[in-house]
């Protein structure tokens, strides 16, 4: 009995010792690849920071004006198109010039004010202005059209009130529907909270596949795998240290990003449990590394592996809701989202960091990630083991 336990203890010690040696080897090799270390550092810090500078809002859109009236009223209207949304780009002499500028992309919006604009307003006659918008980029175009419409509508409303001689005090007696909404979780609707988190999650996705795949393919490319195969290491002992080492690196990078950039620069509140966030990240990284390992088994070199990773990554990100919300997806694709591990990870990451959600709320996402993650990781491991027999 004691002999049995002694040999078992010995075997466990040897297994552990080999795992530690191989994991140390992976970390050491990564630390000597200055280019790769530089890239990882850049992605987790500067790149996340840059993402915070990106806004999905209208920013100084150039507006050209064809003002055929040149009156106080027309100047007043033009004046209302203000930064930060709009920028007055100058006057043009005819409508043709406006179309040309839109074609060339030099203007996003062209405002056309007809002659006798002020005269008609004073006379109390209905009049109209024309707003031409370049909607090549649907997001910006829609925003410009909607903001422009609001500005013009508001101007018309003000003129109407003025004409009816209704003062601020009298305004209270006019029957009007006030629209008031309350914004949760990101009260100022700061893109600087949303975008960097989204970017961080994308980076974790890429690196979780890329780092173990690169480590495995490099062994193939340089022929070092041969020496490992004739050694007493099992395929699992060759593979698992890569996953463990790269997960450690990614968790370290994530910590750096959270502390230095999200908290330090953008003041993201981080309402939920940070250990929970790291645990979920570790789980996610493990799942994605399975995909990386699978890719390493079918590629002969790093270039092939990189191409494949990009190929696999694109649908995973598209289907995850990182760039477009699930609510915007057509029905078929919306169901397909349940296959993207990133979908669950995003749910949980935003939930924990912005909403302060705990396991009570996120258990279903966690279950989803665990199931799909185990499947992906198991598949990768199976393929990795199989390539050697």
Partner 1 sequence: MGQTALVGDTQPVLVTPEPVVTVRDICKRYRKQIAVEGVDLTIQPGEIYGLIGPDGAGKSSLMKAIAGVLTFDRGQLEVFGERIDSEAAAERVKGRIGFMPQGLGLNLYAELSVEENIDFFAALREVPPELLAERKHKLLTMTRLENFLDRPMKQLSGGMKQKLGLICTLIHEPKLVILDEPTTGVDPVSRRDFWAILADLLRERGITALVSTAYMDEAARFHRLSLIYAGRVLAEGEPDQIRQQAPGSLIEIKVEPQIEALRRLKVKFPQTEAVGAVIRVFVAVASTEQATEQVKAVLDGLAIDDIHGIETELEDAFVALLRQRHLADEQAAANPQIPVTTAAPTPIGGEIAIEAAGLSREFGDFRAVDNVSFKVMSGEIFGLLGANGAGKTTVIKMLTGILPPSGGSGQVAGANMHSASQAIKERIGYVSQAFSLYQDMTVLENIRLYARIYAVPRKQINQRTEWVIEMAGLAGVENRLAGKLSMGIRQRLALGCALVHRPQVLFLDEPTSGVDPIGRRRFWDILMQMARVEKVAILVTTHNMGEAEHCDHLALMHAGQIITDATPEQMKLSLQRDAGELLEIVTDQPLMALQIVEQAGFEGAALFGQRIHLLAKDPEQAGRQIAALLAQKQITLLGIHPRIPSIEDVFVYRIMAREQEARSR
CB closer to partner 1, 41 vs 229: 229
Q: Is 301 in the site for partner 1 (CB under 8 A)?
A: no
What would the 3-class secondary structure string for 49-64 be? HHHHHCCCCCCCEEEE
Query: Looking only at residues 231 through 260 of this chain, which bind partner 1 when binding is defined by CB under 8 A?
Result: 231-233
Closer Cβ to partner 1, 27 or 336, answer by number: 27
- Residue 74 near residue 28 (C-beta atoms within 8 A): no
Buried b (16+ CB within 10 A) or exposed e, 313-338: beebbbbbbbeeeeeebeeeeeeebe
Residue 280: CB atoms within 10 Å: 23
Residue (123 or 231) nearer to partner 1, CB: 231
Tokens at 258, concatenated: 């959270």
Q: Decide: 326 and 365 in contact? Cβ < 8 Å.
A: no
Whichever of 254 and 297 has its CB closer to partner 1, that residue is: 297
25 binds partner 1 (CB under 8 A): yes
- Are 43 and 207 in contact by the 8 Å Cβ rule? The answer is yes
Runs of H (alpha helix) within 62-190: 72-79, 95-104, 117-123, 138-163, 168-171
When asked if residue 28 is in the footprint of partner 1 (CB under 8 A), the reply is yes
Question: What track of x and - describes contact with partner 1 for positions 180 through 219 (by CB under 8 A)?
Answer: ----------------------------------------
Residue 73 or 238: which CB sits closer to partner 1?
238
According to the binding rule CB under 8 A, does residue 303 interact with partner 1? no
Instruction: Kindly tell me which residue out of 124, 175, 223, 325 binds partner 1, with binding defined by CB under 8 A.
Output: 223
Q: How far is the CB of 239 from partner 1 (least distance, A)?
A: 14
Shortest approach of partner 1 to residue 13 CB, angstroms? 9
Q: Is 16 in the site for partner 1 (CB under 8 A)?
A: no
- Of 273 and 304, nearer to partner 1 (C-beta) is 304
Contacts with partner 1 by CB under 8 A: the residue count is 25
Q: Does 124 bind partner 1 (CB under 8 A)?
A: no
Give 386's contacts (C-beta < 8 A, 6+ positions apart): 297
Residue 131 to residue 144: CA distance in whole angstroms? 10
Q: Say whether residue 308 binds partner 1 (CB under 8 A).
A: no
Q: Which residue has the tokens 């289907």?
A: 319
| Whole-number CA gyration radius for the chain | 29
Part of the chain binding partner 1 (CB under 8 A), chosen from 14-22, 92-100, 109-117, 310-318: 14-22
Residues that bind partner 1 (CB under 8 A): 14, 17-18, 20-22, 25, 28-29, 32-33, 222-233, 388-389
């Amino acid at each position: 009995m004691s002999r049995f336990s002694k040999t078992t203890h010995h075997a466990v010690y040897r297994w552990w010792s080999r795992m530690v040696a191989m994991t140390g080897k992976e970390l050491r090799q990564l630390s000597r690849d200055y280019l790769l270390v530089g890239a990882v550092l850049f992605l987790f810090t500067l790149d996340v920071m840059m993402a915070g500078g990106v806004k999905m809002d209208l920013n100084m859109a150039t507006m050209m004006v064809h003002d055929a009236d040149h009156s106080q009223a027309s100047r007043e209207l033009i004046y209302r198109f203000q930064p930060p949304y709009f920028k007055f780009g100058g006057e043009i002499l005819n409508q043709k010039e406006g179309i040309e500028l839109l074609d060339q992309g030099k203007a996003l919006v062209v405002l056309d004010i007809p002659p006798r604009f002020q005269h008609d307003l004073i006379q109390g006659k209905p009049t109209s202005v024309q707003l031409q918008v370049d909607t090549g980029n649907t997001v910006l175009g829609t925003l410009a059209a909607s903001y422009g419409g609001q500005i013009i509508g508001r101007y018309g409303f003000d003129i109407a009130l003025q004409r009816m001689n209704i003062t601020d005090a009298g305004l209270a007696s006019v029957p009007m529907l006030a629209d008031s909404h309350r914004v949760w979780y990101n009260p100022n609707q700061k893109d600087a909270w949303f975008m960097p988190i989204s970017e961080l999650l994308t980076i974790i996705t890429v690196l979780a596949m890329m780092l173990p795949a690169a480590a495995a393919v490099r062994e193939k490319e340089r022929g070092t795998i041969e020496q490992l195969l004739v050694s007493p290491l099992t395929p699992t002992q060759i593979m698992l240290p890569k996953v463990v080492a790269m997960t450690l690196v990614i968790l370290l990078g994530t910590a750096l990003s959270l502390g230095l950039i999200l908290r330090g620069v953008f003041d993201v509140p981080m309402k939920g449990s940070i250990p929970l966030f790291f645990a979920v990240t570790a789980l996610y990284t493990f799942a994605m590394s399975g995909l990386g390992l699978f890719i390493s088994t079918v590629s002969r070199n790093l270039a092939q592996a990189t191409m494949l990773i990009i190929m696999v990554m694109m649908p995973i990100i598209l289907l995850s809701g990182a760039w477009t919300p699930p609510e915007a997806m057509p029905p078929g694709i919306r169901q397909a989202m349940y296959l993207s591990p990133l979908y669950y990870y995003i749910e949980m990451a935003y939930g924990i960091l912005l909403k302060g959600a705990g396991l009570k709320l996120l258990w279903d996402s966690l279950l989803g990630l665990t199931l799909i993650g185990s499947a992906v990781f198991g598949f990768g491991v199976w393929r990795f083991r199989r390539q050697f027999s």
